[in-house]
């Protein structure tokens, strides 16, 4: 029976290797030629020269399961908690703006008209401005230095926010908040892609990106506790009001995190302080299968890879997804509390109602990442989530406002939590389909730019005059997510076509067309070509004929 090309390509891509976290073409070593024995107990220590030779110079490096698990566990306990905590702080510092709105910030600063919308949009504008700089910095500046600087910058901006007295001062503080936060998501994505295999990345991205939900929960609890300060029914301290205490506490928490980040984060595998020489060998061998050049110690900015990003058609579809999805995401951050308050609840009840929304964000992100890994299907999972989001938007749009409809309206609003799961899948999908240090940094910066653009435009779709239902904004958002679903389907077709071209290139080079059971093959000139020998070279996915695209 002859299956359609799309079915055969899907099967070859997703079922050619049963080992968790491994990718096809990258881990098979059936031939004795070029085979490197697994690490064993007789080889406890090696020099760094041997480490690089084993992981880069030889073909078919195999890491023993015990070494693989032990090394991954160490990375999970050292690198991942840093990513989770710092990203949580970034989300928390952004999220409290929506809660400050229901605790008096617009009235105290005399915001009028669309000024609050502009306050919500200025941070994404700053993120958009900084993207060209951040992509260069990610390649050139050691990760521990860059992350520490970013955290310090936005922490200071957040700490200064409660002392703003005018609209202009508030806009300035929020601009610098967004400016320093702008490099966060691209940097975290690159770090995740560096330390983990492609099969492991979705769950690790979900671990730190899932703090979107935890940030909402903590911001709600913090606002509920501090919101009463400075009001008539609570103690008044130093003249600061509740919303000011919210900003001050989150800003100070961020600032005191800086030394912790600097002294705990390592820049790369070769110099990692938490790994011994044996574990460094295993760590390098683990990520060899990514074929992304991510283990290269060189930090060279390559303009040809930047050009390739703009000429690569799949870039634009990924950016279209990011733009569309974040049009809705910013709506929940900036206007979510206001939408809930429009259901007739007081500000304290409104604050507490955001807690289930945050919990649902977190669970959705983890569940969808797990489903994408388990099923090895990113696009269908993403498409299903978009349908849930559309169902929530339709519910909010069609049901009349009022206490008798509160249950249905809350259910519709909570469906919007799936927006944040979409972002996780899009990031992991990009990482799985992009190779080359500069190209990965550049495309993640462009992703953040597209996200920032969505965050800028999103709040502007919701006019104050449309409160409390905000029907025009909901209608526009429905159209955006319908378009996003179409973009996902087109991207799948593009990646299927790319895989067919890659198969043709491998055959012409004398390599296996799909899975590479062999480590060698003969070209037309009789020369032998090793599969995987260029895994750590800083090649892009379009340059490396052994790269396989996933969907």
pLDDT, tens only, 126-145: 988 888 888 888 888 999 99
Residue range 109-134: average pLDDT? 84
- Per the model's pLDDT, the better-predicted residue between 308 and 445 turns out to be 308
Is this model's pTM higher than 0.85 or not? no
The encoded tokens of residue 403 equal 């206490």
Residue 393's contacts (CB-CB under 8 Å, 6 or more residues apart) are: 328, 412, 415, 416, 474, 477, 478, 481
Choose the most confident range, by mean pLDDT, from 126-140, 166-180, 397-411: 166-180
The encoded tokens of residue 307 equal 């050009």
Residue range 291-308: average pLDDT? 67
pLDDT, tens only, 492-509: 999 999 999 888 888 887
Report the pLDDT value the prediction gives residue 254, as an integer from 0 to 100. Answer: 95
- Per the model's pLDDT, the better-predicted residue between 115 and 523 turns out to be 115
The CA distance from 323 to 317, in Å, is 10
Ranking 119-133, 346-360, 446-460 by mean pLDDT, the lowest is 346-360
Alpha helices in 331-405, H assignment, sequence order: 336-341, 347-375, 378-398
- Asked if pLDDT for residue 47 goes beyond 70, the answer is no
Cα–Cα distances (Å) from 216 to 174, 175, 220, in that order, read: 18, 21, 6
Cα–Cα distances (Å) from 205 to 151, 190, 381, 436, 517, in that order, read: 19, 10, 16, 19, 30
pLDDT, tens only, 185-238: 889 988 998 888 877 888 888 889 888 788 888 888 888 888 777 665 444 445
């Amino acid at each position: 029976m002859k299956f359609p090309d799309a079915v055969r390509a899907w099967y070859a891509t997703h079922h050619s290797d049963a080992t968790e976290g491994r990718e096809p073409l990258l881990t098979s070593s059936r031939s004795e030629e070029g085979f490197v024995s697994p690490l064993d107990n007789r080889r406890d220590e090696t020099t760094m020269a041997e480490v690089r030779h084993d992981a880069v110079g030889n073909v078919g490096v195999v890491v023993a399961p015990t070494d693989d698990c032990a090394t991954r566990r160490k990375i999970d306990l050292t690198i991942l908690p840093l990513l989770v905590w710092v990203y949580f702080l970034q989300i928390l510092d952004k999220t409290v703006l929506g809660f400050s709105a229901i605790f008096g910030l617009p009235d105290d600063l005399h915001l009028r008209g669309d000024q609050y919308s502009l306050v919500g949009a200025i941070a994404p504008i700053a993120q958009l401005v900084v993207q060209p700089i951040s992509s260069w910095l990610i390649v050139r500046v050691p990760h521990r230095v860059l992350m520490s600087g970013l955290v310090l910058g936005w922490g200071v901006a957040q700490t200064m926010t409660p002392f703003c007295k005018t609209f202009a001062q508030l806009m300035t503080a929020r601009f610098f908040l967004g400016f320093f936060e702008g490099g966060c998501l691209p940097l975290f994505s690159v770090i995740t892609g560096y330390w983990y295999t492609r099969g492991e990345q979705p769950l690790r991205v979900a671990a730190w990106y899932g703090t979107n939900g935890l940030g909402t929960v903590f911001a709600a609890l913090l606002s509920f506790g501090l919101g009463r300060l400075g009001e008539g029914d609570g103690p008044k301290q130093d003249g600061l009001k509740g919303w000011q205490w919210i900003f001050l506490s989150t800003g100070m928490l961020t600032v005191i995190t800086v030394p912790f980040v600097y002294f705990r984060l390592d820049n790369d595998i070769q110099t990692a302080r938490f790994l011994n020489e044996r574990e460094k060998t295993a760590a390098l061998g683990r990520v060899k299968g990514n074929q992304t050049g991510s283990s290269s110690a060189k930090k060279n900015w390559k303009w040809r890879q930047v050009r390739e990003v703009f000429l690569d058609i799949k870039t634009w579809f990924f950016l279209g997804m990011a733009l569309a999805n974040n049009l809705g995401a910013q709506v929940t951050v900036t206007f979510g509390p206001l939408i809930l308050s429009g259901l007739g609840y007081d500000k304290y009840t409104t604050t507490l109602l955001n807690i289930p929304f945050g919990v649902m964000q977190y669970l959705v992100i983890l569940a969808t990442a797990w489903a994408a890994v388990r099923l090895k299907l990113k696009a269908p999972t993403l498409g299903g989530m978009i349908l849930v989001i559309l169902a929530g938007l339709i519910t909010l749009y069609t049901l009349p406002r009022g206490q008798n409809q509160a249950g249905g309206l809350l259910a519709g609003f909570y469906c919007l939590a799936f927006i944040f799961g979409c972002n996780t899948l899009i990031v992991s999908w990009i990482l799985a389909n992009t190779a080359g240090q500069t190209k990965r940094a550049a495309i993640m910066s462009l992703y953040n730019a597209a996200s920032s653009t969505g965050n800028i435009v999103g709040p502007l779709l919701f006019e104050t005059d449309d409160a409390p239902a905000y029907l025009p904004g909901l209608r526009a958002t429905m159209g955006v997510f319908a378009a996003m679903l179409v973009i996902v389907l087109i991207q799948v077709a593009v990646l299927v076509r790319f895989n067919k071209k890659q198969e043709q290139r491998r055959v012409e080079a004398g390599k296996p067309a799909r899975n590479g059971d062999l480590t060698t093959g003969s070209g037309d000139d009789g020369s032998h070509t090793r599969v995987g020998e260029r895994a750590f070279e800083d090649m892009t996915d379009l340059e490396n004929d052994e790269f396989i695209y996933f969907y």
